[in-house]
Amino acid sequence: MHALPSDDGQRLDKWLWFARVVKSRTLAAELVVLGKVRVNRVRAVKASQTLRPGDVVTLVLAGRVLILKVLAPGVRRGPAAEARQLYQPLSAPLGERTGSEFEGRAAGRRQWRRA
């Protein structure tokens, strides 16, 4: 039986796992140790740091910056649709490219072909 999360918040590593940001709590803890995670603009130093609704989590994954606003603590690691209800993305999803980034690359290729 799952214990309901209290109003006190939830561990950072657990929340990242419940929200399906990372595949394991161990990986979440490693990101914290490597300095890849910030909570409310302050570098997280322990995976056991408490997250509360309204906190903003910033992390670096696959060379991209991901910014998430915590909406709720997790109860379990459920399906992706359930996990998305735990946060509000404040940055572009990892797979998307911005228009200017694409135009820059395309323009660079055109110049290379002409030369």
| The predicted structure's pLDDT at residue 100 | 41
Is the pLDDT confidence value at 104 over 50?
Answer: no
Q: All domains of the chain, ordered by start, with CATH?
A: 10-114 (3.10.290.10)
DSSP reduced 3-state for 63: coil
Residue pair 2/72 in contact by the 8 Å Cβ criterion: no
The pTM score is 0.74
| The predicted structure's pLDDT at residue 111 | 45
| The predicted structure's pLDDT at residue 99 | 47
pLDDT band per the 50, 70, 90 thresholds, residue 115: very low
Residue pair 40/53 in contact by the 8 Å Cβ criterion: no
- Between 16-30, 69-83, 100-114, the lowest mean confidence (pLDDT) is in 100-114
Task: Give the number of residues written for the chain.
Answer: 115
The tens digit of pLDDT for each residue in 44-103 reads 999 999 999 999 999 999 889 999 999 999 999 999 999 999 999 998 765 655 544 434
Which of 114, 1, 104, 19 lies closest to 57 in space, CA to CA?
Answer: 19
Is 60 buried (19+), middle (13-18) or exposed (0-12) by CB count in 10 A? middle
Residue pair 48/28 in contact by the 8 Å Cβ criterion: no
